Structure 1
Amino acid sequence: MAEHRIVVVSGGGSGIGLAVCAAFAAEGAQVVALGRRAEPLEDGAKELNERYAAVGGSVRALTADLSEPEEAERVGAELRSSYGRVDVLVNNAGGNALLGAAEGAADGLTGAAWHWTANFRSNVLTAVLLTEATRDLLAAPGGRVVLLSSIAAYRGSGSGSYAGAKAALHPYMYDLAADLGPRGITVNTVAPGYIADTEFFGPGGVPEARRQVLVEQAMNRRAGEPADVAETVRWLASPGAGHITGQVIQVNGGAEKGR
């Protein structure tokens, strides 16, 4: 019987991260879902454990703020102790600090410093610190690292800070791919466009007029779904994608072209 793969997914409690956990659990992987909020992590893990028990898939919830070095170090130590290796690392944690922020929070230089720092911590540090904490645990050969960027890295985000943070992942990915490549480990980035049914835009979701604009920008005239991204991540982690590394795969229905 084949050995279960060990898959680590940050931001695994909802939206794209939860869909990624589901995709790997369906294959019988042992998934570790990481995030800051215990309740959605545990609820998601319980649901997926019940759904995929028959195929041997499992999801474990592990709470951590991965923007803090000591928290990332703790996660790395726990993974080493419990599993001894990581086959697939998916850096999905992130978000836009400006969404849902109080009115005036971004005003002036103090506001600019706040949202640029917050988006860097949420989107860049979470990925870098977790990756560095698990670098020596990555299966070699055959390990896979995937980072989640955004269409905003190409088209902007209206404020600069979120788009800039996501764009910062791209050169990190290139350097990491070159560094880990000799060990037989691939490193790639997935950049989604508008993905419905996520918490990204807050409890109220996207206003209908804005949603229509985002859908019409896609060449296939539909919103993306978390499963669209999850299946792309799963493919990049497959043996068939072993010669694909240092790439940014866009999942946006062609919307990046701006039509």
Structure 2
Amino acid sequence: MPKLAVVSGGGTGIGRAIAEELAAEHEVVLLGRRAEVLRRTAEELSGEHRLVRAVVADLCEPDEVRRAADEITAGDRTVDVLVNNAGGNFAPQPAEDLSTLREQYLRNLGGNVLPVVLLTQALLPALRRPGGRIVTVTSIAAFRGNASYGAAKAALHPWSTELAARLAGAGITVNVVAPGYVGGTEFYRDRMTPEFHRQRSAQAPVGRGGTVADVAGLVGYLAGATAGFVTGQIIQINGGALMGRG
């Protein structure tokens, strides 16, 4: 039976690239809310030697997370890799009104923290022991940038390091990947203009923005057998746009 990897938010962008990276050696389950997007991506990534399937669920809802976890682990399947990629900036515009500000923080905390914490907790009993891998994708915004989105992503850093300490004895590694600017994804939506891309790319001393393949390659390493001594780390990937923090 092939190894099993689960990628939340795997339908587009960074999540899709991670799924494609892992599909070379794993059966991959894509998780998310958009059924048609997931189905199409699963079909496109599947091939003669690759099996990718979709499970639709709102990962902010406990009942849906339980259902998805049961479907993924049916037949006592063991999960080798869990990549928590689901999330986004659900309140990109700053607010001054207190009620609106409260709503922005709740939306971003709920939309970024709950999918990670609930899904990880639901799949934890099925994680391979030893050898399981948990990788959570956050953002450079956890160190700087949009307050409510950055706060939500930053909350996942101590959660991950605490989980890493708890699971180390079982041989499960837990790490965070925090990308900087990565163009060509849905994250920036209508902000993605040539000038925006130029300005963001110029922030990195390497002279370019990141790509989804850059991030997927790092996640692929952390998910692999040679990364067993790497745990409890927050690894930035931003071309040097923000150095020396992790």
Letter in 1 for 2:40: D
| 1:172-251 equivalent positions in 2, closer than 5 A | 172-202=159-189, 204-251=190-237
Letter in 2 for 1:95: G
Give structure 1 stretches of 5+ with no counterpart: none
Give the deviation of 1:124 after TM superposition: 0.6
Letter in 1 for 2:242: E
CA RMSD after TM alignment = 1.5
1:96 to 2:105 alignment = no
Cα pair 2:7 2:82 within 8 Å, conserved:
yes
Q: Which residue of 1 is the match for residue 132 of structure 2?
A: 143
SS in 1 for 2:210: coil
**Percent of paired sites with the same residue:** 49
Q: 2:153, 2:64 → 1: CA distance?
A: 22
Give the deviation of 1:207 after TM superposition: 3.0
Letter in 2 for 1:39: E
1:32 to 2:29 alignment = yes
1:71 to 2:64 alignment = yes
Q: TM-score, normalising length from structure 2?
A: 0.95
Q: 1:26, 1:134 → 2: CA distance?
A: 22
Give the deviation of 1:214 after TM superposition: 1.1
1:48 to 2:34 alignment = no
Deviation string for 1:77-121 (max 9, x for gaps)?
Answer: 11221552110000000000124x7xx9x4511111111111111
Q: 1:166, 1:247 → 2: CA distance?
A: 15
Deviation string for 1:109-138 (max 9, x for gaps)?
Answer: 111111111111111110000000001100
Name the count of aligned residue pairs.
244
Give the deviation of 1:208 after TM superposition: 2.9
Q: Which residue of 1 is the match for residue 53 of structure 2?
A: 60
SS in 1 for 2:52: strand
Deviation string for 1:141-178 (max 9, x for gaps)?
Answer: 00000001100111122xx1000000000000011001
Deviation string for 1:192-223 (max 9, x for gaps)?
Answer: 00111110011x34233332221111111111
Q: Which residue of 1 is the match for residue 103 of structure 2?
A: 114
* Stretch of structure 1 that moved more, 81-90 or 35-44: 81-90
Give the deviation of 1:237 after TM superposition: 0.7
Give structure 2 stretches of 5+ with no counterpart: none
Letter in 2 for 1:184: G
Q: 1:48, 1:128 → 2: CA distance?
A: 27
Letter in 1 for 2:177: V
Q: 2:99, 2:53 → 1: CA distance?
A: 39
Q: 2:36, 2:169 → 1: CA distance?
A: 40
